A and B are shown apart, each in its own frame.
Chain A
Amino acid sequence: MAAPANNNSGCWGIPDVYKHHEQRKICISRPKYRDGRKAKAVKVYTINLESSYLMVQGVPAIGVMPELIQLCALYGVVEEYKPLDEYPAEEFTEVYLVKFQRLTSARAAKRHMDEKSFYGGVLHVCYVPEYETVEDTRLKLQDRRRYIIRAVQNKAREREQKEAVNEEPTSSIRATTSETVINRHDKTSDNDNTAIVSHYSGFPLLPLPPQEYHYYRHTNQHGTIPTEDKMGTLHNAIIDTKRHQAHNSSSSQTSSDRDRGTEQRLTSNQSSAAVRFVPRTTQLENRKRRMEEAVEQSLTDVTMNNEPLIGPKLPEPPKLDMEDVSLNTTVNLIRNTMKQVESVPDLKPVAKKMKPRRRI
C-alpha cells in the first residue's frame, strides 16, 4: 500500500477488487411458491453488505460522467463521486465511485440503476462498503439499530390500534377501507418512492418498474407507517405519505405547483451545502431538467385525476362548412366519433387500475 497517498483518506485510495463486486449466478431451482419475480442469486443481505458508497461499472467511456451523476441524483443527494481509473474495467467502459449522503438513497439508486442500459452500455451497480471510514460504518450500524427499534415499536402500536378498532367496528370500518383505497392508488406509483422522495423531494419521480416484493407489501391501513422501504428514517416516511396523499387529493394544480416550488428551493439549498464537486453548469442543467419533469408530471397528474383543466384551452378546430346539409351532418358525425375515440385512452388506464385483477 502506498502509505502517504492513502493517509489523508483511506476511502479514496487505490481501489481493490473484492469478490462481492461480482454478480453471482442466479438461482433457477426454486419451487414456484418461493420464486420471486426477478431472477436472483442465493445470497443473504445484511447491513454489512450495504453502504452509502456505490460502485457503478459499465459506464461507456464517452464522457457521460455528468449524465451519470444526474441520474444518481434522482435518488438522493450525492456527496462525492469520482472515476476509479485504476479499477479494472471492460474495454471502452469506465467505473465510478458514488457516495450518497444517505444509505436509503444508495439503496434506491442501486435498485433502479443496476442492470439498466445507459448510453448504450449496461450498468452494474453494487455497494462498496470497503470505501467506508470507521465513522461511516459506525453511523450505518447505529442508524440501522435505531430504525429497527422504531419500526418494531410502530408495529406494536399499530396492533394496539387495530385491537381498539376491533372493539368498535361500526364507526371505523368505513374510514379504514376508504383509506386503503387511497393508499392503493398511491401504491400504483410504487411504494419504494417513500425512501427516495422523503429526502430528495424537489420533483416528482419517473414511474418506476414493478417491485419483486409485491406480494408482501404492507397495506398501510393507518396511513402513518411507512411501506416496504426497509430502512430510512420513519419521520420522513410519515411526512412523505401525507404529502403523497395531499398530492393525489389536491384539486388545484396551482397549489401543488407552489408546494413543488418550495420543495425545490429547499433541495437546492440542501444540495449546494452537501454536494461538493458538482459543477455549476451541471446544477443548472439538473434544475432545468427537474422543472421540465415537474411540468410534465403535473400535466399527467391532472389527466390521471380526471379533474377539470384550469387555464386557456386549445382553440377548437375550425368547423368546416361543406356547403351541403348532408355533407355537414356526416362531417359532424365523424368529428364526434373522433372526439370519443380520442378521449377513451385517457380514461382507460385509470379504470383498469381500479378494477380488481382476477388471480388465476
Chain B
Amino acid sequence: MQKMWKKGSTEGSDRFEYLQTLVTEFQDTDSEEAKEQVLANLANFAYDPKNMEYLRDLQVADLFLDMLTEENANLVEFGMGGLCNLSMDPECRHLILQSSGISLVTNCLSSQREETVLSAITTLMNLTTPSSRSEITDPAILQCMLRFSLSESPRLRNLAAVFLQDCCSKEQVARAEQQMQGQQTAVGIPLPKD
C-alpha cells in the first residue's frame, strides 16, 4: 500500500512492468506447469479493464491465440478464457480480428471441455462487427450452435441460444436448421418435439 501511495503516478508503469515480467517468464520457461500458471494469470488480468491497454501493448492477444493450437488442454482453456476476457474491449477485438482469430476460436467449439467451448462462444459474440458478421454466422458455426442449444448443459444451451438470437437473422437460423435436419436423420440424432 505504501508503495502505491508513494508512487501513485507511476503505478501504471509498475503494472506494465509486472505484466511484462509475466509475458517474459511465459516465453522463457520450459516448465509446463509454470506456463499454465502464468497463462492463467495473464488471462485473469485480462478480466480487469484497467489492464487492457498494457495487455494490448504486450500483444497478449496474439499470445492467447497461439495457445489455441496447443496440445495441452489446460493451455487451450486458459488461452480461450483470456480471449473471452480481452475481446470485450473494442480495440482488443480489432486486434484479434486482424490476427484471423475467428477461425482459431471457431476450432475451439469442438473442444471436449465445456469451459473452453463457453469461452469460444462468448468470444465469437464479442467479435461480431458489421464486417466480421458474415464470417461468424457461417452455416457451420450456426449448426454448431443449434446443436449446443439442445445440450444437456444449461450454460451451453443458454449461451448458444443468445448467440442464435442476437448474432444472426432468423432466416440464417432457419436455413442452418434445414441443412442440419438432413444431416441429423442420417446421423440419427433425435430432435426435440417442439
Chain A residues with a Cβ under 8 A of chain B: 10-11, 20, 27, 29-31, 33-34, 42-49, 129-134, 136-138, 141, 144-145, 147-149, 151-152, 155, 162, 180, 184, 187, 214-219, 221, 230, 356-359
Residues A216 and B36 in contact in the complex (CB < 8 Å), given A46-B122, A155-B53: no
B179 at the A interface (CB under 8 A): no
Q: How far is the CB of A173 from chain B (nearest CB, A)?
A: 10
Contact residues in A for B159 (Cβ distance below 8 Å): 48, 137
Q: How far is the CB of B125 from chain A (nearest CB, A)?
A: 7
Contact residues in B for A162 (Cβ distance below 8 Å): 9
A46-B118, A218-B11 provided; 17 other pairs, C-beta below 8 A?
Answer: A11-B154, A20-B115, A44-B43, A44-B77, A44-B115, A45-B44, A45-B81, A48-B118, A131-B154, A132-B155, A134-B161, A151-B50, A162-B9, A219-B5, A219-B8, A356-B2, A357-B1
* Residue contacts A-B, CB under 8 angstroms, 9 given: A29-B33, A44-B78, A46-B119, A131-B154, A134-B161, A138-B165, A138-B166, A218-B50, A356-B6
Contact residues in B for A136 (Cβ distance below 8 Å): 158
Leading 3 A-B pairs by shortest Cβ distance? A44-B81, A151-B49, A219-B8
B40 at the A interface (CB under 8 A): yes
Residues A134 and B78 in contact in the complex (CB < 8 Å), given A148-B89, A218-B50, A356-B5: no
Asked if A217 and B88 make an inter-chain contact with CB atoms under 8 angstroms apart, the answer reads no
Closest B residue, CB atoms, query A47: B122
Tell me the bound Cα distance from A29 to B40 in angstroms: 14
Contact residues in A for B52 (Cβ distance below 8 Å): 148, 152, 155
Tell me the bound Cα distance from A116 to B49 in angstroms: 29
Closest B residue, CB atoms, query A217: B4
Q: Which of B120-163 contact A (CB under 8 A)?
A: 122, 125-126, 153-155, 158-159, 161-162
A-B contact count (CB 8 A): 131
Tell me the bound Cα distance from A201 to B11 in angstroms: 30
Closest A residue, CB atoms, query B86: A148
Asked if A48 and B90 make an inter-chain contact with CB atoms under 8 angstroms apart, the answer reads no
Asked if A230 and B48 make an inter-chain contact with CB atoms under 8 angstroms apart, the answer reads yes
Tell me the bound Cα distance from A149 to B4 in angstroms: 26
Asked if B3 and A359 make an inter-chain contact with CB atoms under 8 angstroms apart, the answer reads yes
Contact residues in B for A34 (Cβ distance below 8 Å): 22, 37-38, 41
Contact residues in B for A152 (Cβ distance below 8 Å): 49, 52-53, 89-91
Contact residues in B for A132 (Cβ distance below 8 Å): 154-155, 158
The main secondary structure of chain A at its interface with chain B is helix
Within 8 Å by CB of A48, from B8, B15, B115, lies: B115
Contact residues in B for A129 (Cβ distance below 8 Å): 155
Contact residues in A for B53 (Cβ distance below 8 Å): 152, 155
Within 8 Å by CB of A141, from B50, B81, B89, B122, lies: B122
Contact residues in B for A144 (Cβ distance below 8 Å): 88
Residues A42 and B122 in contact in the complex (CB < 8 Å), given A48-B159, A218-B11, A218-B50: no
Q: How far is the CB of A145 from chain B (nearest CB, A)?
A: 6
Contact residues in A for B109 (Cβ distance below 8 Å): none
Asked if B22 and A48 make an inter-chain contact with CB atoms under 8 angstroms apart, the answer reads no
B82 at the A interface (CB under 8 A): yes
Closest B residue, CB atoms, query A177: B8
B103 at the A interface (CB under 8 A): no
Tell me the bound Cα distance from A230 to B84 in angstroms: 15
Contact residues in A for B8 (Cβ distance below 8 Å): 180, 219, 221
Contact residues in A for B89 (Cβ distance below 8 Å): 148-149, 152
Tell me the bound Cα distance from A155 to B41 in angstroms: 22
Asked if A33 and B21 make an inter-chain contact with CB atoms under 8 angstroms apart, the answer reads yes
Asked if B4 and A219 make an inter-chain contact with CB atoms under 8 angstroms apart, the answer reads yes
Contact with A along B162-179 (1 / 0, CB 8 A): 100110000000000000
Tell me the bound Cα distance from A220 to B18 in angstroms: 19
Q: Among A30, A48, A136, find the residue whose CB has the most chain B CB atoms closer than 10 A.
A: A48
Contact residues in B for A219 (Cβ distance below 8 Å): 4-5, 8, 11
Tell me the bound Cα distance from A131 to B154 in angstroms: 7
Closest B residue, CB atoms, query A162: B9
Q: Which of B2-53 contact A (CB under 8 A)?
A: 2-6, 8-9, 11, 15, 18, 21-22, 33-34, 36-38, 40-41, 43-44, 47-50, 52-53
Tell me the bound Cα distance from A91 to B126 in angstroms: 44
Tell me the bound Cα distance from A42 to B31 in angstroms: 15
Tell me the bound Cα distance from A217 to B9 in angstroms: 12
Closest B residue, CB atoms, query A184: B5
Contact residues in B for A357 (Cβ distance below 8 Å): 1-2
Contact residues in A for B166 (Cβ distance below 8 Å): 138
Contact residues in B for A149 (Cβ distance below 8 Å): 89-90
